[in-house]
Amino acid sequence: MKVVIGADDNYYIANYVVNYVRSKGFDVVLIGSLKSGRQEPWPKVGYEVGKLVASGTANYGIVICYTGTGVSIAANKVRGVRAALCVDAKTAQGARLWNDANVLALSARLLSEEVAKEILDAWFSVEKPDQSELPNIKQLNELPNE
């Protein structure tokens, strides 16, 4: 399974996330500062991760900026992306289970290694969405971009 991970700056926690996801056996593609080593605009990072997920190049995306908000907004500009800003494991699990979220947005400001690990474990623990939510997910995907 391929996971694309992007960050707008070279945050310690972003590098921790990359290493932890790799340790779980995922193929990781790096975007933004994780690839270039220098600060990158958060709109570009979020959008690029979103494009790779929506195109099927990656199964999931993880985006990281100072608050997590900017990259989640940028990723959600891509049709087919359902980016969720998660600050705890229960929210991450719910985003996958009930919303079929395919991009996880994280705040570099808020995360410790322990909380990041909990969020990632919860995110990847959900293999498919709750079947009762499929009509809602379908309806979401059919909403027009205005």
What is the C-alpha to C-alpha distance for residues 2 and 115, in angstroms, rounded to an integer?
22
**86 catalytic residue (yes or no):** no
Q: How many CB atoms lie within 10 A of CB 58?
A: 24
Catalytic one of 65, 92, 95, 122 = 65
Instruction: For residue 94, count CB atoms less than 10 angstroms from its CB and return exposed for 0-12, middle for 13-18, buried for 19 or more.
Output: middle
CA terminus-to-terminus distance, the chain: 33
Tokens matching residue 113: 């290694």
Torsion of CA 106, 53, 96, 131, to 10 degrees: 170
- Could you give the residue numbers annotated as active site? 65
